[in-house]
C-alpha cells in the first residue's frame, strides 16, 4: 500500500473517531435532557422526597447541594489562597518545596472515595459528629484544596515579575504586593478556576455518601437559625445532595419510577454543571477585560 | 573582538565633603550564585545631581543599581557597605521597606499597576497609612505635575493606567515613585522602551526633578548620559572602571577601556 | 493638631536619628510577618491533611494484618470474600479493578489519540471551537450521571446483545471508557502541541505525508507525554467508585468472563463500609481495600514522575 493511500485511510479513521466522540457527548446530553426534562417541574424542584421509596421532589437535595457548595468554598478558598500565595511567593526552590508539591499532587490524585472514607473515619467515627453538612463540606474541601491551590498558584505566578518589583520598590510589603497588586491581576484566572471547581464539587457524590450522608430529613424552610435542629442551615444535620440522591435512587431506589426520577434529577444536575462551566468562561472573560482595560 | 583590559587600571573619583553626598557604596560585591557579577564598586553620589551609569549590556549596571535599594534581596548575595545618612543599609537588620520608601526605583519597562491612574499613585501612600483624602489628591496632582504628565491625564484620572501610551506609562511610574517623596530616585534605562519624543519628555522631567532629588540613572545611551547627567560612571564586565564628571568622561576619558567605549569600538 | 501616623510626613521635621528610623519595624514589616504566618499556616493545613490521610488510612488498613492476624499473602491471593465468615480474599476485587482499568485504557487510548491528532494536526480550528468544549463537557459530567446512563442504557444494551444480567466488567469498561476519554485526550493534546514545530516541518519538507509525519515524528516524540496521559486516565478509572459500582453488579467473586457480575475495590468499599462495625474484621478488611486504593494512587503518581524524568533525560541528550 502506498503512502498516499495510508495517509487517506488514516485521515478517514481519525475523522470517524472524532465523529464518534462528538456523537457520544451528543447522545449523553440528548438522552439525559430528553428523558429527564419532561419530568422536571416546579413541584419536582421544590418538593420533598419520600424517605422510604426515594420518590418525590428534590427540593431539599437541591438546597443541600448549594449549601454544601457554599460552605466548601468558604472553607477552601481562603486556605488555598494562602497556600497558593505561599507557593507562588514564599516557597524557595528546594527539597522542602518539592515535598510540599508532591503532597499536593498526591492529594489531588487520590480517588474521591478515599477522601470520603477519610472524612468518614475522621468526623463520623472518631469525632462522632455523624453524617452532617459540616462533615461533607470538609471532605469536599479536602478534595477541592489541591486543585484550587494549584490554580491559584499558577494564576499568581503568571503575573509578570515587573508588577511585583513595582510594588516592592515602593516599599510595600511582599504580602501587600501580593494581595493588593498581584491578586487583582490574577483574579480572572482564579475566578474561572473557582467556578469550574464549583461545578466539580456540585456533582461529587463519592466523597459525600459517608460524610454528608444519604438522607435528607425534611427541614423547615421558615426557620433560618443555624442552631435549630430543623433549620436548613443547621450544619450538623445529615444532608443528601442531588448527586448522592441520583446514586441512591438508582442503587437502592424502591420507587416505581426510579428511572424517571433519576433522569430528571440528572438533567437538573447536568444543567447546573453546564451553567457553572459557562459561568466560569463568561466571568473569566469579563474580569479579564476589566483588568486589562481592553474594552 | 573584545580586547582584554586590565581591571587594575581604574580612575574613580572620590569626594572629600561627605555631607554633600546622598549615598555611597564601599566594596560592593554582588554574586548570583557562583556568578560574581559586581566587583568592589566604590561610588559616591552627590546630592541633587544626576549620576549616569553607563557601560555595555551585561556589565552589571542594573545589578549595581538594584543593590542600592535592596531590590536584590532574595535574588543575589550582596556584600560590602552601602552608606545612606551614615547608616549602612546593606545590613540585614535594616528595614528594607523603609529603605525603598526613601530610595525609589523606576524600571526599564514601564510597569504601572493594573489600576486607575489615580490608584497607581495613591495605592502605596494609602498602604503606608496616609488616609486624608485631600492630601492624597494633592499628592496625585503634585507628583503628576512633577513627572510632566498632569496636563495629559488630569481629566482621566480614573481611566486604567494600562490605556496610556508607553511614554505616559513610564512618566506615571516616575510620578508614582516621587509621590512617596523619596530622597533618591534610581532609574534603570527608563527610556529604552520609549520613542524619541517620550524620551525627550522624560529627560526634561529628570532635569527638573534633580532640584529635589538625587538621581541615579542607568543608560545604554551615551548621548542621554551626556544630556542629563553631571557625573558619569563607566562599568565594564562587573567592574567600575572610571567615574568622573560627565564633561570629563566624554571629552577626556582617562583609561584605555573608557576611551575605546566612548569612541564606540565596543558596547 | 490632628495626629497622622504617616511617617513620610514626619521625616522632614523629626530628629535626625536615621539609624533608628531605618531600623525600626514598620507597618510593612508587621504585614510581612502576618502574611508569612497566614500563608505558612495554610500550606501547613494542607500538609497536615495529606499526612493524616496517609497515616489514618494506613493504620486502619494494616489492622487486618496486625490485629486480626490475617496473612498478607492470603489477603492478596485469596479468592473468597466473606468477611463476616472470616474469609477475606481480596483477589476478586483486585482483579476486577485492574480489569476495568486496563480495558478502559485500551479502548479509550486510540479514541483519545485520534481525537488529539485531529485537534492538533488536522483541524486545529475545529479542534478549538468544537472539540475543546466537547472535552470540557465530558469532564464536567458528574460520575453519578455516567453511572445512571450506564444503568439505563449500557446495561440493558449488554443484556440484549450478550445475554445475562448485563451487569459486569464490560459495562463498567464502557462507562469508564467515556469517563477517561477526556482526561487522556486533553493531556495528549498538550503533549502533541509540545512537539517542536521544526520536527514536523523537517519531515514534511522531506516529502513525508501527513500521516507519516504524525506517526513517525510527532507521536514518537510525544510518547512519554501520551504515556503519562494514559496513566492519568488509568488512575482515574482505578479510583472511580460510583459509576462503576452502579453497573458492575457487585458480586465479590472471581470474574470468569466480562459479562457476569463482578466487583472492584471501590465498589466493594462503597457498598460495604456503611454496614460494618468499626474495629471488627469485616470493617478492617474494607479499610485494607482502601489502603490498596491509596497505594495504587501513589504508584500511579510515582509512575508519572518516572516517565517525566525519563522524558527530560531524553530531551537533554
Ligand atoms: N537575576 C539574575 N540572575 C542571575 N544572573 C543575573 C541576574 N541578573 C543579571 N545577572 C547577570 O549579571 C551580569 C550583569 O547583568 P546586568 O546587571 O543586568 O547588566 P546590565 O544592566 O549592565 O546590562 C550578567 O552577566 C547577567 O547575566
Ligand atoms: Mg540592565
pLDDT at position C157:
93
Helices (H), chain C: 7-11, 18-23, 27-61, 63-66, 72-77, 91-117, 124-126, 132-140, 143-149, 155-162, 169-193, 197-205, 210-212, 219-221, 223-239, 242-248, 265-272, 281-316
Residue C11: pLDDT over 50 = no
- CB-CB neighbors (< 8 A) of B163 in chain A: 293
Residue C9: pLDDT over 60 = no
The beta-carbon neighbor of C24 closest among B95, B102, B127 is: B95
Helices (H), chain B: 61-68, 96-102, 117-127, 133-146, 150-153, 166-178, 196-209, 222-228, 246-251, 256-263
Residue contact C300–A109, C-beta within 8 A: yes
Ligand 1 pocket by Cβ (under 6 Å) = B 32, 35, 37, 55, 57-63, 75
B250 within some domain? yes
pLDDT at position A229:
73
Percentage with pLDDT > 90 across chain A: 59
Residue contact A165–B111, C-beta within 8 A: yes
Which grid coordinates are listed for C239? 479510583
- CB-CB neighbors (< 8 A) of A170 in chain B: 100-101, 104, 124, 176-177, 180
Confidence of residue A214 (pLDDT cuts 50, 70, 90): confident
Confidence of residue C303 (pLDDT cuts 50, 70, 90): very high
Whether C147 has its CB under 8 Å from any CB of chain A: the answer is yes
Domain count, chain B: 1
Confidence of residue A234 (pLDDT cuts 50, 70, 90): confident
Residue contact A171–B98, C-beta within 8 A: yes
- CB-CB neighbors (< 8 A) of A4 in chain C: 209
pLDDT at position C4:
43
Residue A294: pLDDT over 70 = no
B24 within some domain? yes
Encode pLDDT of C124-161 as tens digits: 888 888 999 999 999 999 999 999 999 999 999 999 98
Q: Mutate which of B63, B73, B217, B221 to test ligand 1's pocket (most atoms within 8 Å of Cβ)? A: B63
pLDDT at position A53:
61
Specify the pTM.
Answer: 0.90
Whether C26 has its CB under 8 Å from any CB of chain B: the answer is yes
Q: Is A76 left (phi over 0), alpha (psi -120 to 50) or beta?
A: alpha
Residue contact C49–A176, C-beta within 8 A: no
Q: Sign (positive/negative) of CA torsion B88, B91, B93, B99?
A: positive
pLDDT at position A1:
60
- CB contacts under 8 A, A 164-203 vs B, are 165-173, 176, 180-181, 184-185
B30 within some domain? yes
Residue C14: pLDDT over 60 = no
Q: Which residue minimizes the CA distance to atom 6 of ligand 1?
A: B32
Q: Which residue minimizes the CA distance to atom 12 of ligand 1?
A: B37
Encode pLDDT of B47-89 as tens digits: 999 999 999 999 999 999 999 999 999 899 999 999 999 899 9
Q: Which residue minimizes the CA distance to atom 7 of ligand 1?
A: B32
Least confident of A195-199, A287-291, B111-115, C167-171: A287-291
- CB-CB neighbors (< 8 A) of B99 in chain A: 171
The CA distances from residue B136 to A181, B109, B123, B170, C8, in Å, are: 19, 26, 10, 21, 13
Encode pLDDT of C75-96 as tens digits: 899 888 888 888 889 999 999 9
CA distance A290 to chain B (A): 9
The beta-carbon neighbor of B97 closest among A173, A181, A185 is: A173
Residue contact B87–C26, C-beta within 8 A: no
Q: Which residue minimizes the CA distance to atom 26 of ligand 1?
A: B58
Q: What's the CATH code of the domain at B100?
A: 3.40.50.300
- Residues 6 or more apart whose CB falls under 8 angstroms from that of C256 comprise none
Confidence of residue C13 (pLDDT cuts 50, 70, 90): very low
- CB-CB neighbors (< 8 A) of B127 in chain C: 27-28
Residue C115, CA atoms < 13 Å, CB-side half-sphere: 29
The beta-carbon neighbor of C290 closest among A22, A117, A251 is: A117
Percentage with pLDDT > 90 across chain B: 78
Which atom of ligand 1 is found nearest the CA of B75? 1
CA of B190 to the centre of ligand 1 (A): 17
Q: Which residue minimizes the CA distance to atom 5 of ligand 1?
A: B32
Contact B148, B201 (CB under 8 A): yes
Q: What angle do CA A99, A101, A103 make, to 5 degrees?
A: 70
**Whole-complex ipTM:** 0.92
Residue contact B127–A169, C-beta within 8 A: no
B142 within some domain? no
Encode pLDDT of A49-99 as tens digits: 766 666 678 888 899 999 999 999 999 999 999 999 999 999 988 899 999
Which atom of ligand 1 is found nearest the CA of B188? 21
Which domain range does residue B32 map to? 17-115+188-263
**Strands annotated E in chain A:** none
Chains in touch with B (3+ beta-carbon pairs under 8 Å) read: A, C
What secondary structure does DSSP assign to C185-250, as a single string?
HHHHHHHHHTS-HHHHHHHHHTT--HHHIIIIIIHHHTHHHHHHHHHHHHHHHHH--HHHHHHHB-
- CB contacts under 8 A, B 178-197 vs A, are 180
Amino acid at each position: 500500500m502506498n503512502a498516499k493511500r495510508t495517509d487517506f485511510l488514516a485521515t478517514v479513521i481519525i475523522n470517524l473517531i472524532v465523529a464518534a466522540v462528538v456523537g457520544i457527548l451528543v447522545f449523553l446530553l440528548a438522552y439525559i435532557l430528553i428523558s429527564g426534562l419532561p419530568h422536571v417541574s416546579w413541584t419536582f424542584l421544590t418538593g420533598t422526597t419520600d424517605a422510604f421509596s426515594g420518590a418525590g421532589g428534590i427540593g431539599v437535595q437541591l438546597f443541600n447541594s448549594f449549601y454544601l457548595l457554599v460552605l466548601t468554598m468558604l472553607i477552601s478558598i481562603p486556605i488555598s489562597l494562602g497556600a497558593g500565595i505561599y507557593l507562588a511567593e514564599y516557597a524557595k526552590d528546594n527539597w522542602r518545596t518539592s515535598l510540599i508539591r508532591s503532597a499536593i499532587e498526591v492529594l489531588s490524585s487520590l480517588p474521591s472515595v478515599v477522601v470520603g472514607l477519610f472524612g468518614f473515619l475522621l468526623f463520623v467515627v472518631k469525632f462522632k459528629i455523624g453524617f452532617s453538612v459540616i462533615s461533607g463540606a470538609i471532605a469536599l474541601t479536602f478534595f477541592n484544596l489541591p486543585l484550587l491551590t494549584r490554580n491559584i498558584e499558577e494564576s499568581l505566578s503568571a503575573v509578570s515579575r515587573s508588577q511585583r518589583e513595582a510594588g516592592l520598590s515602593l516599599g510595600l510589603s511582599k504580602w501587600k504586593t501580593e494581595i493588593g497588586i498581584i491578586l487583582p491581576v490574577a483574579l480572572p484566572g482564579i475566578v474561572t478556576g473557582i467556578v469550574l471547581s464549583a461545578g466539580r464539587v456540585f456533582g461529587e457524590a463519592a466523597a459525600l455518601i459517608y460524610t454528608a450522608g444519604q438522607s435528607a430529613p425534611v427541614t423547615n424552610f421558615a426557620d433560618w437559625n443555624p442552631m435549630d435542629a430543623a433549620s436548613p442551615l443547621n450544619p450538623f444535620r445529615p444532608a443528601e445532595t442531588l448527586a448522592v440522591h441520583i446514586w441512591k435512587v438508582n442503587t437502592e431506589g424502591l420507587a416505581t419510577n426510579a428511572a424517571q426520577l433519576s433522569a430528571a434529577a440528572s438533567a437538573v444536575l447536568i444543567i447546573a454543571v453546564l451553567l457553572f462551566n459557562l459561568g466560569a468562561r463568561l466571568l473569566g472573560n469579563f474580569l479579564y477585560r476589566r483588568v486589562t482595560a481592553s474594552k | 573582538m573584545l580586547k582584554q583590559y586590565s581591571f587594575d587600571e581604574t580612575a574613580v573619583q572620590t569626594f572629600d565633603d561627605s555631607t554633600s553626598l546622598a549615598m555611597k557604596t564601599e566594596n560592593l560585591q554582588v554574586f548570583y550564585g557562583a556568578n560574581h557579577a559586581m566587583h568592589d564598586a566604590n561610588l559616591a553620589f552627590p546630592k541633587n545631581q544626576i549620576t549616569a551609569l553607563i557601560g555595555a549590556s551585561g556589565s552589571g549596571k542594573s545589578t549595581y543599581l538594584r543593590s542600592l535599594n535592596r531590590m536584590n534581596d532574595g535574588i543575589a548575595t550582596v556584600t560590602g557597605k552601602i552608606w545612606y545618612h551614615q547608616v549602612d543599609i546593606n545590613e540585614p537588620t535594616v528595614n528594607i521597606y523603609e529603605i525603598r520608601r526613601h530610595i525609589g526605583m523606576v524600571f526599564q519597562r514601564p510597569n504601572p499597576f493594573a489600576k486607575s491612574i489615580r490608584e497607581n499613585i495613591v495605592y502605596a501612600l494609602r498602604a503606608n497609612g496616609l488616609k486624608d483624602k485631600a492630601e492624597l489628591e494633592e499628592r496625585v496632582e503634585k507628583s503628576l505635575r512633577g513627572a510632566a504628565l498632569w496636563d495629559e491625564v488630569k481629566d482621566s484620572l480614573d481611566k486604567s493606567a494600562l490605556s496610556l501610551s508607553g511614554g505616559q506609562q513610564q512618566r506615571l511610574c516616575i510620578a508614582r515613585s516621587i509621590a512617596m517623596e523619596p530622597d533618591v530616585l534610581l532609574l534603570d534605562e527608563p527610556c529604552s522602551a520609549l520613542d524619541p519624543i517620550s524620551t525627550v519628555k522624560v529627560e526634561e522631567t529628570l532635569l527638573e526633578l534633580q532640584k529635589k532629588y538625587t538621581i541615579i540613572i542607568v543608560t545604554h545611551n551615551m548621548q542621554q548620559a551626556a544630556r542629563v547627567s553631571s557625573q558619569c560612571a563607566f562599568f565594564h564586565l562587573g567592574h567600575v572602571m572610571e567615574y568622573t564628571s560627565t564633561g570629563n568622561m566624554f571629552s577626556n576619558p582617562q583609561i584605555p577601556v573608557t576611551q575605546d567605549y566612548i569612541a564606540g569600538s565596543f558596547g | 493638631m490632628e495626629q497622622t501616623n504617616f511617617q513620610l510626613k514626619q521625616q522632614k521635621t523629626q530628629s535626625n536619628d536615621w539609624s533608628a528610623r531605618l531600623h525600626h519595624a514598620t507597618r510593612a514589616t508587621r504585614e510581612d510577618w502576618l502574611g508569612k504566618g497566614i500563608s505558612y499556616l495554610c500550606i501547613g493545613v494542607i500538609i497536615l491533611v495529606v499526612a493524616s490521610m496517609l497515616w489514618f488510612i494506613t493504620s486502619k488498613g494494616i489492622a487486618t494484618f496486625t490485629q486480626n492476624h490475617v496473612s498478607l499473602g492470603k489477603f492478596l491471593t485469596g479468592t473468597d470474600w466473606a468477611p463476616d465468615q472470616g474469609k477475606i480474599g481480596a483477589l476478586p476485587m483486585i482483579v476486577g479493578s485492574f480489569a476495568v482499568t486496563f480495558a478502559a485504557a485500551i479502548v479509550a487510548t486510540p479514541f483519545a489519540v485520534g481525537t488529539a491528532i485531529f485537534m492538533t494536526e488536522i483541524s486545529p480550528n475545529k479542534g478549538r471551537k468544537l472539540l475543546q468544549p466537547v472535552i470540557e463537557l465530558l469532564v464536567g459530567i458528574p460520575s453519578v450521571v455516567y453511572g445512571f446512563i450506564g444503568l439505563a442504557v449500557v446495561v440493558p444494551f449488554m443484556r440484549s446483545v450478550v445475554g445475562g444480567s448485563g451487569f459486569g466488567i464490560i459495562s463498567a469498561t464502557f462507562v469508564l471508557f467515556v469517563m477517561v476519554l477526556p482526561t487522556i485526550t486533553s493531556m495528549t493534546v498538550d503533549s502533541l502541541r509540545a512537539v517542536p514545530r521544526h520536527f514536523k516541518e523537517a519531515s514534511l519538507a522531506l516529502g513525508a505525508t501527513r500521516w507519516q509525519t504524525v506517526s513517525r515524528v510527532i507521536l514518537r516524540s510525544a510518547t512519554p507525554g501520551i504515556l503519562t496521559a494514559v496513566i492519568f486516565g488509568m488512575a482515574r478509572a482505578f479510583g472511580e467508585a460510583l459509576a462503576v459500582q452502579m453497573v458492575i453488579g457487585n458480586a465479590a467473586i472471581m470474574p470468569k468472563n466480562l459479562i457476569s457480575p463482578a466487583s472492584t475495590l471501590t465498589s466493594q468499599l462503597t457498598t460495604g463500609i456503611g454496614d460494618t462495625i468499626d474495629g471488627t474484621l469485616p470493617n478492617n478488611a474494607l479499610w485494607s481495600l482502601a489502603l490498596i486504593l491509596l497505594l495504587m494512587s501513589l504508584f500511579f503518581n510515582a509512575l508519572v514522575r518516572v516517565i517525566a524524568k525519563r522524558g527530560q533525560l531524553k530531551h537533554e541528550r
